[in-house]
Amino acid sequence: MLIDSTDPQIENKLLAQERIYDQLRHSGELAQASILRFTDTGIRIGDNATMMQFGLLVYPSGGRPAFNAESQTAVSDASRPKFVTDSTIYVRFNPADLTQVAIDHIAVTGPKTTVLICPTCGASQTLSEGQAACSFCGAPLPTITNHS
């Protein structure tokens, strides 16, 4: 990891924290989290990433209560638009110490789908984008307008 920082104390602190996060990514418990806020630290990591700090709301599995946490990670310039308030990401955390939370990966959102019943043959089907005919009988399907 290349860090563009002139302060060796900052560099050492970031590297020590990253070792904890690496351990959590291998052995921590996986959970979904929502990004509550994020801050660009201004610290460049190599040529194409910035260290970002995140305020998170973590949702552990098993009906356990959600909790607030802080974490940081290097975010590539290309991925930065995906990390926005209210985005869902995945984290790994230490159940014995809820202050130890590492960002694991961002959630991948699948395409929006619509289920429709063909008026000609009555077959139920999930429409793919741009689909205009029934997958079963080939009859034209009604046009669906997306209001989002």
Per-residue pLDDT of the chain (148 residues; tens, 9 = 90+): 444 455 677 777 777 888 899 899 999 999 999 999 999 888 888 888 888 999 999 999 988 999 999 999 988 888 888 888 888 899 999 999 999 999 987 765 544 456 667 778 777 766 665 667 777 788 887 665 444 4
Q: What was the pLDDT predicted at 115? A: 66
Q: What was the pLDDT predicted at 50? A: 87
Q: What was the pLDDT predicted at 107? A: 62
74-88-48 Cα angle (round to 5): 20
| Phi and psi angles of residue 29, each rounded to the nearest 5 degrees, phi first | -80, 135
Q: How far is CA 100 from the centre of its chain?
A: 18
**Which tokens sit at 5?**
């920082």
Q: Looking at the DSSP assignment, which residues form a beta bridge with residue 38?
A: 54
Q: What was the pLDDT predicted at 5? A: 53
The label of the residue with tokens 């660009």 reads: 40
Q: What was the pLDDT predicted at 94? A: 95
Residue 56 belongs to what H/E stretch? strand 49-59
Q: How many CA atoms lie within 13 A of 16 on its CB side?
A: 6
The answer to whether the beta carbons of residues 108 and 82 sit under 8 Å apart is no
Q: Can you count the helices (H) and strands (E) in the chain?
A: 1, 8
Please tell me the distance from the alpha carbon of residue 122 to that of residue 119, in angstroms, as a whole number. 6
Q: What was the pLDDT predicted at 14? A: 76
